[in-house]
Chains A and B, each alone.
Chain A
Amino acid sequence: MRIIVHKAKCQGHARCSAQAPDVFKLDDEGYILPGDIEVAEGEQRLASRGARSCPERALELDRTPAARG
């Protein structure tokens, strides 16, 4: 699974990293680091919960086969 990060939409609510700090890394101001995130096998549940916690809809779950592979 992959998480597409729409960095421009991130406003630093930090709800993603409150759910899954190891998946969602924030910069010193508290905003998400740029770049899409490849989620490891064991972290998928927490990661998708984190992505669905974003008030700005900055995090998009990509479950296409390519992303899974």
Chain B
Amino acid sequence: MAINPVPDHVPSEMVRDFSLFTSPGMAPTPNGDPHAAVACVHAGPPIFYSPCNTRGGRGTWVITRARDQRRVLQDTETFSSHRSIFSSALGENWPMIPLELDPPAHGVFRSLLNPLLSPKRVMVLEPAVRERAITLIDRIAASGTSCDVMKDFAFPFTVSIFLRLLGLPDHRLDTFVGWAKDLLHGDDVKRPAAARTIVAFIDELATKRRKEPVDDFMTFIVQAQVGGRRLTEEEVRGIGVLVFVAGLDTVAAAIGFGLAYLARNLKDQELLRREPDRIMLAAEELLRAYPTVQIIRVATKDIDFEGAPIRKGDYVSCATMIANRDPAEFECPNTVDLAREENRHAAFGYGPHRCLGSHLARREIVIGLEEWLARIPAFRIKKATAPITSGGHVFGLENLILDWS
């Protein structure tokens, strides 16, 4: 990974040897705990500079307090989302929408998309989500007393809900899981190849729905109007690609980290199995303790932030895994307390870019846990296996082999 030199305006005493990519515990680690590994930053200052804190090796400021992350993410005038991460990997320059737009353009698209994933809309989707979970888990239960939760449940579950949302048939499931894997975890050859495949797929789907509209997400997008005009091809692509990348790995990882915790904490597992009413609150605590996303913003102007000279163009990192372990915000932040109330965690971000899919993600996670606990008896991590965790832009879990023999 190429490391850029620390810019001259960053005082050397503000530079720390810390990175979500290269610090200890961030590389793929058997039985790792990357969340605990980053929780150490609260002993230090509210802001510091990390010389290498993106996949491309760029430096970022790191905001360590939840309160300050709220300030940054609510202030979109100073801290912009405009970056084109996905398309720049293809040597192109178009935004994922609404993620990489700033207000006021952001709000226009956000309002368009909000009803598609609103709490009300998610209630309508719920029976289909539950049906998918039950089918997958029943098949697992019938075929033995062990499985790899990531491969056999978490990924197929989230991908199939994504397919349903886009109005696509389930038989393409394996293809999509493959693309998603390559895109998120592939090497420098596989990643851009997968990105190109996904763009081509989204473009083709949009063309198809323009010609033959049906009642689904993509048809809605190609027919939608903003400011009295149809969306451009680039805008449709920006939305389609974002929904693809935002909703797969994140939900699968949340389910994986949650079940890994329960596999290691049998008392909590038994409590939730006996009293499923507790699962909704417990899911919030698992999201707090094991969030997955590092949010990045770009400074639009020079600003002194808690004593740090942020300069126009600097990257600013608001890692949700850091906010969620802030002792100023959460009592005993490193203890998982499944009955924690008023859990105002940052797993879905703060400010106008708050996760558009959060209501759906929450239902997927709760339903996944409910149906898993109802159908699989007391489970543990299978002996002689180790879940492999990783840090990065999106924290992940490669495998989770459970055993209930």
Chain A positions near chain B (C-beta within 8 angstroms): 9, 11-15, 17, 26, 28-31, 49, 52-57
**In the complex, which residue of chain B has the Cβ closest to the Cβ of A14?**
B119
| A11 in contact with B119 given A49-B341, A56-B70 (CB within 8 Å) | no
The verdict on B208 contacting chain A, using a C-beta distance below 8 Å, is no
The verdict on B345 contacting chain A, using a C-beta distance below 8 Å, is yes
Extra pairs beyond A12-B114, A29-B111 (20, CB < 8 Å): A11-B350, A11-B351, A11-B352, A11-B354, A12-B354, A13-B348, A14-B119, A14-B359, A15-B344, A28-B115, A29-B114, A30-B118, A30-B119, A49-B341, A52-B344, A53-B342, A53-B344, A54-B344, A55-B354, A56-B351
What does DSSP make chain B's interface, helix, strand, loop or mixed?
Answer: loop
The verdict on B358 contacting chain A, using a C-beta distance below 8 Å, is yes
The verdict on B346 contacting chain A, using a C-beta distance below 8 Å, is yes
Distance of B287 from chain A, by nearest CB (Å): 12
A17 is contacted by which of B74, B111, B119, B358 (Cβ under 8 Å)? B119
> Chain B contacts of A29 at CB under 8 A?
111, 114-115, 118
> Chain B contacts of A53 at CB under 8 A?
342-344
Q: Name, among A15, A31, A53, A55, the residue most crowded by chain B CB atoms within 10 Å (CB to CB).
A: A55
Complex contact A55–B345 (CB within 8 A): yes
> Chain B contacts of A9 at CB under 8 A?
74
Chain B positions near chain A (C-beta within 8 angstroms): 70, 74, 111, 114-115, 118-120, 341-346, 348, 350-352, 354, 358-359
Complex contact A49–B345 (CB within 8 A): no
**In the complex, which residue of chain B has the Cβ closest to the Cβ of A15?**
B344
Complex contact A28–B120 (CB within 8 A): yes
Cα distance A26–B352 in the bound complex, in angstroms:
16
A-B contact count (CB 8 A): 51
Distance of B245 from chain A, by nearest CB (Å): 21
> Chain A contacts of B342 at CB under 8 A?
49, 52-53
Cα distance A15–B281 in the bound complex, in angstroms:
11
Complex contact A30–B120 (CB within 8 A): yes
> Chain B contacts of A15 at CB under 8 A?
344
> Chain A contacts of B341 at CB under 8 A?
49
Cα distance A13–B352 in the bound complex, in angstroms:
10
**In the complex, which residue of chain B has the Cβ closest to the Cβ of A29?**
B114
Distance of B116 from chain A, by nearest CB (Å): 10
B114 is contacted by which of A13, A30, A57 (Cβ under 8 Å)? A30
> Chain A contacts of B120 at CB under 8 A?
28, 30
Cα distance A14–B354 in the bound complex, in angstroms:
11
> Can you list 28 pairs linking A and B with CB atoms under 8 Å apart?
A9-B74, A11-B350, A11-B354, A12-B354, A13-B348, A13-B358, A26-B118, A28-B114, A28-B115, A28-B120, A29-B114, A30-B114, A30-B120, A30-B359, A31-B114, A52-B344, A53-B342, A53-B343, A53-B344, A54-B344, A55-B70, A55-B345, A55-B346, A55-B350, A56-B74, A56-B350, A56-B351, A56-B354
Cα distance A57–B70 in the bound complex, in angstroms:
10
The 9 closest A-B pairs by CB, nearest first: A29-B114, A30-B118, A11-B354, A55-B344, A52-B342, A14-B119, A30-B119, A53-B342, A28-B115
